[in-house]
Structure 1
Amino acid sequence: MTGTARTARTAPSAEATGVTEADGAFAGAATQPAGDKSAGDKPAGGKVTAFNDSLGRLRRSMRRSAWNKGPLPPARDMAWQTSLVRRDPDPAVTRLTAADFGYQRARRGPAARSAPAPEQTAYSGPHRLLTDEGVARLRRVCENLADRAPDDDYIVSRRVRNVFGASRFVRAMVSDPAFLGRVSAIAGQPLIPHPLTTPAICANYFDTQEVRVGDRKEPQTARWHYDGMTYVFVMQLADRTEFANGRLMLYRGTRADFDRDREAVAEQGSSHPKVFEPPLERAGDTVYTLGSSLWHAVQPVSSGARLSIILSFFAPMERHDSNPFWHLAAEDGIVEALSGFAKLRKAQSDPLGYCARTGIDLTRVIAEAERAAPLVAPH
């Protein structure tokens, strides 16, 4: 990370062997937080505010995008190879459907088009998408991008967007049929690189330094928010022993439910009865979410440094995409958003053409997903 205080260690974790029991992960997630607390953590909870969906978005949209800074120099990037995709079974996977979060099928109107189907996987994890060497290389790439992360007062305090454009390693990873097959098996349908490349892949950085917000300073955090993207994977790139607190929190309810619970959730954090913490313990641990349907946040860290990468994908078999224009424009500026949405609409109107233009062999992705399915299922 930027400077001495923002530098995280790069030693990879040891790869787990065998399969652990699944019945303990997320037991009673609807009524109590899940996941063990590290010894150095303070008590769960802590106030994390929710982002404000208001006219502030319009003001932010007038800014020029700050994310297109060119690729990493070759010496600071890494080489991708298919052997970095993990081929072993995932340990102790828990799966929750959209119905588990309170979503029921709408009968008609816009809600019927945007709400997830009740049987659709809304949360799954923890998964291991990469080998230890793959995790170490990806972590190094994200650390080498950290000096591009500005202080921000919107949703995530410090992050880098457009990692897809910045790193050849990441571009190759998310275009590899074997990697796409693994994430597709988890999501339950074919996934490919998203046409909206700038917001699709982000690296998030958290440490104990405060960020400047106007004339004041605030702890680094990810405010309560939902994503523009639908199919989202959150991979933690630091071990739990490297930082205290800083946990990912998910609200177990619909977006409409959150509006009613907003103040209580913001005040209580993971102490709220509808909030749980996914058990992300080792570098490389990953959870899958329907990001546009689930409110989530990250606590401030109280010591050490937390690093994660957010990977979002496009489902070519679907015509619908959840991204609202102003959600994207508020982050990347109107010009960037207009360009991105033009690419998205073109991909939606001709998904097979999009696959051909981007070199994605959809048939092979589907075959890889079928091969990976037994490795990622709850067991």
Structure 2
Amino acid sequence: MPTASALDLPRTPTGFQQVFHALRAHTPRRGARLPAEPRWRSDFIDRDATGARVALQEFGYTARELSTWRGRTDDTAVVGPFRLLTEEGLGRLTEVCEQLEGAAQRTRFIATRRVRSADLLSPFINNMIRDRGFLLTCSRLVGVPLIPHPLRVPTAQINYSNGRGGPEIVRWHRDGMDYVFTVQLSGYDDYEGGRFTYFQGRTDEFTGVRAGDPRLREAPCGDRGATLFLHGSRIFHAVTPVTRGRRVTLVISLFCPYFARQDSNTFWHLAGDDGISATVPSWLRLKWPVRNAPVDFSLRAASPVITWDDLA
């Protein structure tokens, strides 16, 4: 069980503070280029990926609160950890993320140092998250058709944490995104601290949580390459500060076009992270009306179309 110090971490700003962060946020960089990036290959995917699954009902959500589409229910809360990439694929991804660190920016919203919209900087990451085999593997793990999120800025984020004694911004938060995959590019041998912690309960119950509550859980993500799926908008979670060494993770946000009308993102949550000017065009791409959701949203995300039939 996580320690009391994990529970003492601050929470993400809300209300007026969220607007204040939106006004101060920096537009994510777009100009970085890798000197010699490896090519993405579909055989980097671990097609046999599987992991333990926890349902949203086990977090206290009722059937009426779950998203549904023609009898299909979005009820997965957590999957994993599992291996999403082969050892070779993980090595190439780690190489790419290490080289992108020069584009990292500091932020005071949730994480300290990160690269947002990494897929717009890296052809490797762009091709990986738009590979049909990759999307099918992720979709089958979660049980709903998934594509890259049409909100292009937060779709792929690299987080860098260094335990050098300096202050780190680490907060309890829930994501704007519903379908979030976190890939560990470092392992416990590389750092101390950095424990992924979450609350196995409804988000509206988190305020009253005290140390020792059995619903505070630590995800066993200590192995390099371990991947965890979290229904980010429905679950409060945090990462404890890294006190020694170096922790690098890639966070991928996917999207189910069939549940687009029930998407959990709010404008000010996104703007608090990236600023208003960067959020407006992405927000329009998400909210613009569609006639054929799987096709139209896939076009907006430059993605293959994934349907319910593909999950069979």
User: How many angstroms apart in 2 are the aligned matches of 1:64 and 1:185?
Assistant: 36
Residues 307 and 349 of structure 1: CA distance in aligned 2, closer, same or farther (over 3 Å): farther
Contact between 1:99 and 1:119, CA under 8 Å: does it hold in 2? no
Residues 226 and 89 of structure 1: CA distance in aligned 2, closer, same or farther (over 3 Å): closer
1:167 matched to which residue of 2? 122
Counterpart selection for 2:279 from 337, 348, 353: 337
Counterpart selection for 1:67 from 28, 39, 49: 28
Q: Deviations over 1:266-291 (max 9, x none)?
A: xx4xx543211111122110111110
Counterpart selection for 1:157 from 105, 112, 128: 112
Please state how far the C-alpha of 1:304 moved relative to its aligned partner.
Answer: 1.0
Please state how far the C-alpha of 1:254 moved relative to its aligned partner.
Answer: 0.8
Residues 365 and 84 of structure 1: CA distance in aligned 2, closer, same or farther (over 3 Å): farther
Alignment of 1:295-306 (within 5 A): 295-306=236-247
2:265 matched to which residue of 1? 323
Alignment of 1:1-379 (within 5 A): 32=1, 45-46=5-6, 47-63=8-24, 65-75=26-36, 77-90=37-50, 93-106=51-64, 120-211=75-166, 218=167, 220-261=168-209, 264=210, 268=211, 272-320=213-261, 321-346=263-288, 350-351=292-293, 352-356=295-299, 359-362=302-305, 367=310, 369-370=311-312
Code of the aligned partner of 2:103: R
Residues 300 and 358 of structure 1: CA distance in aligned 2, closer, same or farther (over 3 Å): closer
Structure number with greater Rg is 1
- Segment drifting more, 170-179 vs 312-321: 312-321
Please state how far the C-alpha of 1:112 moved relative to its aligned partner.
Answer: 7.3
User: How many angstroms apart in 1 are the aligned matches of 2:201 and 2:52?
Assistant: 17
Code of the aligned partner of 1:105: A
SS of aligned partner of 2:15: coil
Using structure 2 for the length normalisation, give the TM-score.
0.89
Please state how far the C-alpha of 1:358 moved relative to its aligned partner.
Answer: 5.1
- Segment drifting more, 281-290 vs 146-155: 146-155
Please state how far the C-alpha of 1:139 moved relative to its aligned partner.
Answer: 1.2
What's the C-alpha RMSD, in Å, of the aligned pairs?
Answer: 2.5
User: How many angstroms apart in 2 are the aligned matches of 1:83 and 1:293?
Assistant: 33
Using structure 1 for the length normalisation, give the TM-score.
0.74
User: How many angstroms apart in 2 are the aligned matches of 1:167 and 1:180?
Assistant: 18
Contact between 1:206 and 1:221, CA under 8 Å: does it hold in 2? no
User: How many angstroms apart in 2 are the aligned matches of 1:172 and 1:365?
Assistant: 22
SS of aligned partner of 1:222: coil
Contact between 1:49 and 1:224, CA under 8 Å: does it hold in 2? yes
Unaligned runs of 5+ in 1: 1-31, 34-42, 212-217, 371-379
Contact between 1:181 and 1:365, CA under 8 Å: does it hold in 2? no
